[in-house]
Amino acid sequence: MSKRFNILSLSGGGYLGLYTIAVLSQLEQELGRPIASSFDLIAGTSIGGIIALGLAHEVKAKDIEEAFLRDGSRIFSDRPVQTGRLAQFIDILRYIGKPKYDPSQLRATITGLVGEETKIGDLRHRVLVPTVNLTKGAPQVFKTPHHETFTRDQWLKVTDIAMATSAAPTYFPIAEVENSLYADGGLFANSPDWLAVHEAEHFLGVEPRDIHVMSIGTTTSSFSFADATGRALGIYGWAKDQRLVSVILASQQKVSHYMLGHRFGSRYLRLDKEQSPDQTLHLALDVATKSAQRTITGLATGTVRDHINTPALRGFFEHRAPRPDFPGKNSSLLNT
């Protein structure tokens, strides 16, 4: 008999992650209980990792969304997208020797959601969060202690892991956790779908036929160059309009989407929206203007409207995931 195993996978995408949490907030309101209770494993990268950690702690999705709306312009920028060639060139020069943003406001926002002392082992649901360990020179995935061999991470602070997975090069400084240096997990797994599937099969013993994956994007899954862009792009050409970052994020998401779709068919549900050409001119990974917020949340509302009554989505929410009993848990939080 099939025993359904639901995975929630959340992509990275800077402030465009507002789309992800807006979708989840509306779905959670429809569900009437913590959305994490419908998923046996939650995976998230970068901003998706921050959201995943919050949901695994059963922070209300609406509270996370409101924090992003309230603090977005302090974490990133309330300036509109710079479209002029000179303005973009000046921006590149201004930050050529340092990251664009101070991470203190991002950390304060995360702390306000999950608390400063909450440990990975205190979380109520299984979670995995990819990062790049720059000290070792290798990818590293932080996890709840949902397997008997997972003893490394359970005492680490959730805030530290959140800062590590979202330490995007050029945007935020390199993060430090336990004397090791970390960068954004989006460098290798911006869509952590495959990591979560591997985790389910190889560490949790789930049969592939029982796996169902809901993957939520950040409206960053599309990119293309006009021929007029030219071919001899230098530093400025690739930095302009966040081209290099867009290619890295979008290409990872597309290959993950295609491969998961081929393997799981109707058991794979991808929720995402492509920005229109006009929206692309006004949205960016680090633009948190009121106009951008309205556009992003509007895209999220459209996604929910398109899927809310579909059997595929309903199937996820009819499932109640058993609450895991983590060995050596740090506190009584799991019993509350």
Among the listed residues 160, 184, 272, 286, the single catalytic one is: 184
Look at residues 186, 167, 46 and name the one whose alpha carbon lies nearest to residue 175.
Answer: 167
Residues 6+ apart with CB under 8 A from 101: 75, 76, 77, 171, 172, 286
For residues 102 and 152, what is the distance between their CA atoms, to the nearest angstrom? 29
Q: How far lies 256's CA from each of 47, 77, 192, 215, in Å?
A: 18, 30, 8, 10
Q: How far lies 196's CA from each of 168, 274, 310, in Å?
A: 21, 24, 24
Whether the Cβ atoms of residue 48 and residue 56 lie closer than 8 Å to each other: no
For residues 289 and 304, what is the distance between their CA atoms, to the nearest angstrom? 23
Among the listed residues 9, 38, 46, 221, the single catalytic one is: 46
Q: Is 215 a catalytic residue?
A: no
Three-state DSSP class for residue 181: strand
Look at residues 200, 170, 171, 164 and name the one whose alpha carbon lies nearest to residue 185.
Answer: 164
For residues 138 and 153, what is the distance between their CA atoms, to the nearest angstrom? 17
Sign of CA dihedral 313, 318, 319, 320: positive
For residues 216 and 219, what is the distance between their CA atoms, to the nearest angstrom? 9
What b-and-e string marks burial along 212-227, b requiring 16 or more CB atoms within 10 Å of the CB?
bbbbbbbbbbebeeee
For residues 302 and 219, what is the distance between their CA atoms, to the nearest angstrom? 12
Residues 6+ apart with CB under 8 A from 243: 223, 225, 233, 237
Q: Is 222 a catalytic residue?
A: no
Tokens matching residue 92: 């590149």
Catalytic residue numbers? 46, 184
